[in-house]
Amino acid sequence: MKIRKVTSHEVARLAGVSQTTVSRAFSREGSVSKATLKRIRAAAEQLGYWPNELARSLISRRSNMIGIVMGDILNPFYPAVLHAFTQKLQALGRRVLLFSVPAEADVDAVLPQMLQYQVAGVVITSATLSSSMARTIAGAGTPVVLFNRNVYGNPVSSVCCANEEGAQNVARLLCRAGHRRFGLIGGRADTSTHRERRRAFTKELRHEGITALAESSGANTYEGGFAAARQMLSAPDRPTALFCISDIMALGALDAARRELSLSVPEDVSIVGFDDILAAAWPSYNLTTVRQPVNRMVDEAIAVLLRQIEDPTVQPSSVRVPGRLIVRSSARL
């Protein structure tokens, strides 16, 4: 059976008002008296009317929608981020339009598609934005905030964990425990999170007089972390401490060390991650890691984005939120 779509004109006739008044009643910016609003809402409920948000945004060229571009969505850290964004934005009366970018795809190809929906603003998480696209977005006047990413020297706001401080604390923890042979399992070398965490970690090691560092890419996946740790920990002079720049790789490294190579953690090798995903606290992993304060980071990102939406003259800002070192049993003290 085909369901007939109720129009705003029918609501207007039943409520005894103009169609323009109905439109204002369902607009956040609209001004309608309480009595009229109550009458329109009652008519809409009786008829089963729902406003067409997308059509209205295409006509007015203004939208209630916030676009979220998310790469690496299979990494358990990012579904938690998406949940926080959607819950908080919906509580503010905003709607979310999600575009997922596969690992091999370019976020630059997705953004023009999203902008066709007249989104009020865009949040880009776990995806790398080119400098040229950053300039294009800024020129188009659509507010953009990078979450857990940064584009250096470009006019785009960003909200990240204090990556360098967190990685520095990891290096200090491991050095205090007496480790002298280190390995680092990184993600994508072109991302700001990889560069910042690696830079701070290696700088602190040099401060402790340690210059040798085994490195491998784990591509921010469990399988990548497993393979990288298996290769590193099979060497004759294997590291006694591994720093993985994301938890999902650290979980793979833990399983490789214990199940593939029969090493004891942390007696034979200490393993530390970064993120504090839910699985990090599971008894089978009990991973020492740096906790990214997701809720506070999301709050900061939304606040930055809404300021830019409300006042286009606001200058881009860079916010760094301190993380917290969570010590569990995967690293010796």
Yes or no: say if 101 and 70 are a contact pair by the CB < 8 Å rule: yes
Q: How confident is the model at residue 34 (pLDDT cuts 50, 70, 90)?
A: confident
For range 64-91, the mean pLDDT: 91
Identify the pLDDT of residue 29. 53
Residue 56 has pLDDT above 70, yes or no: no
CB atoms < 10 A from the CB of 246, how many? Answer: 30
Q: Which CATH class is domain 163-292?
A: alpha beta
Give the class (CATH, top level) of 8-51.
Answer: mainly alpha
Lowest mean pLDDT among 129-133, 264-268, 298-302: 129-133
pLDDT tens per residue across span 146-190: 999 887 777 789 999 999 999 999 999 999 999 999 999 999 888
pLDDT for res 265: 97
Most confident of the ranges 14-28, 128-142, 232-246: 232-246
Q: In which band, very low, low, confident or very high, does the pLDDT at 261 lie, cut at 50, 70 and 90?
A: very high
Q: Look at residue 46 in the predicted model and tell me its pLDDT.
A: 85
Tell me the C-alpha distance between 7 and 52, whole Å: 9
Residue 1 has pLDDT above 50, yes or no: no
Question: Is 149 or 63 the better-scoring residue by pLDDT?
Answer: 149
Mean pLDDT over each residue of the chain, to the nearest integer: 89
**Cα–Cα distance, 278 to 299 (Å, whole number):** 20
* 86 vs 50, residue with greater confidence: 86
Higher pLDDT, 182 or 112: 182
H helices of the chain, where? Answer: 8-15, 19-25, 34-47, 53-60, 77-91, 107-115, 131-140, 163-176, 192-207, 222-233, 247-255, 294-310
The more confidently predicted of residues 152 and 193 is: 193
Token output for 38:
């109550």
Mean pLDDT confidence for 28-33 = 68
The residue among 110 and 197 whose pLDDT is bigger is 197
Give the mean model confidence (pLDDT) for residues 274-290. 97
Give the pLDDT score at 319. Answer: 95
The superfamily (CATH) of domain 63-161+294-323 is Response regulator (3.40.50.2300)
CA distances from 34 to 17, 31, 148, 150 (A): 14, 9, 42, 45
Mean pLDDT along residues 223-252: 97
| Identical topology for domains 8-51 and 163-292 | no
The residue assigned the tokens 């990556």 is 163
pLDDT at 283: 96
In the chain, domain spans = 8-51, 63-161+294-323, 163-292
What pLDDT is stored for residue 290 in this prediction?
A: 98
Per-residue pLDDT at 23: 78
pLDDT for 54 beyond 60: no
The yes-or-no verdict on residue 191 having pLDDT over 90 is no
Query: Which of 72-76, 90-94, 122-126, 246-250 tops mean pLDDT?
Result: 246-250
133 versus 197: the higher-pLDDT residue is: 197
Assess whether pLDDT exceeds 70 at residue 99: yes
